[in-house]
Structure 1
Amino acid sequence: MTIRDWSFSISDPRSLREVLGTPPPPLTEYELVSFHIDEREASVALGFFSIGQPAGAAITWQEKGHNAVEFFLVCTGVERLSVEGWSTEPFTSVSLTRSHVELSGEGKRISFDVAEIRADAPIGRLASRAP
């Protein structure tokens, strides 16, 4: 992941930036917890999670005791999906541009071109720090 602001790759990054900050932390600070391919819609949804309250966390998050954040990036118009290898190890690198996404980790690499990347508003979560 490069140091640049990855939120520029999102078609409308306002809801993301309001909660995560401008620029948001690098994607390497979030765990990629879900990867869903929908062949009917030619889309891929990426779910990210992190313990800790983001810079712009709503007061209601604090009142509810939320100590984690979750958000999803929805990539539409997916073409040229390539999957190389597969393992249970986590993805360690996520790279976004306006038209290309690449995920990689030990023994695996997934890449695809996109027409658009949308972001759902980040959600506050209550998470345990226990292993």
Structure 2
Amino acid sequence: MSASELLGDLYESEPPTVNECELFYVHADERDGSVTLGFDTRELPSRPRAEWREKTYNRFEFHLLFSDVTEFQVHGWGPQEAREVDISAAPGKKIKVALGRTGSGIHFLASSMRLASARVYLASDAP
């Protein structure tokens, strides 16, 4: 299952890919072997949840939780690595996550991925 498929209920057509979103949050939890990635986008859901319909908003934020993480590696972290996100299928029904290019960034395998949270909010357009 791709990250876009997890957002499918919120969009009539194709939801934004993770590369069309801004990665703003990375949390590795060694206690339960998970990694959470947080993304933000201006591509608003065309089918918002009922609790969002009365709100004024211009941003959409969601978190993906990866479970049973193995082969977790960090080789530096910075703005360039945060802009290069690749989530793909790997052998053995695993999910391969690469934040950054080979040799830099964060890389790991996971057994599963789920949408941990999603919300809309109103953000200022000020720099």
Q: TM-score, normalised by structure 2?
A: 0.80
Residues 89-98 or 79-88, more deviating:
89-98
Give 1:35 deviation, angstroms: 0.1
Alignment match, 1:9: 2
**Which secondary structure state, in structure 1, belongs to the residue aligned with residue 35 of structure 2?**
strand
Alignment match, 1:50: 41
Does residue 25 of structure 1 match 2:16?
A: yes
Q: Which amino acid aligns with 1:9?
A: S
Measured in 2, the distance between the counterparts of 1:21 and 1:120 equals 21
Greater RCO (CA < 8 Å, at least 6 residues apart): 1
Q: Which amino acid aligns with 1:42?
A: G
**Map 1:81-92 → 2, pairs under 5 A:** 81-89=72-80, 91-92=82-83
Identity value in percent: 33
Alignment match, 1:78: 69
Q: TM-score, normalised by structure 1?
A: 0.77
Question: Does the aligned pair in 2 maintain the 1:96–1:102 contact within 8 Å?
Answer: yes
User: What does the per-residue CA deviation read over 1:19-55, in whole Å, with 9 as the maximum and x for residues that have no partner?
Assistant: 1445322212211110000000100000001135222
Measured in 2, the distance between the counterparts of 1:20 and 1:35 equals 25
Q: Which runs of 4+ in 1 moved over 6 A?
A: none
User: What does the per-residue CA deviation read over 1:43-101, in whole Å, with 9 as the maximum and x for residues that have no partner?
Assistant: 00000011352222246534210111010000000000111122355611211124211
Residues 31-40 or 21-30, more deviating:
21-30
Measured in 2, the distance between the counterparts of 1:30 and 1:95 equals 12
Alignment match, 2:92: none
Q: How many residues are paired up?
A: 120
Question: Does the aligned pair in 2 maintain the 1:19–1:122 contact within 8 Å?
Answer: no
**Map 1:59-74 → 2, pairs under 5 A:** 60-74=51-65
Gaps of 5+ in 2: 90-94
CA RMSD of aligned residues (A): 2.4
Question: Does the aligned pair in 1 maintain the 2:16–2:43 contact within 8 Å?
Answer: no
Question: Does the aligned pair in 2 maintain the 1:32–1:90 contact within 8 Å?
Answer: no
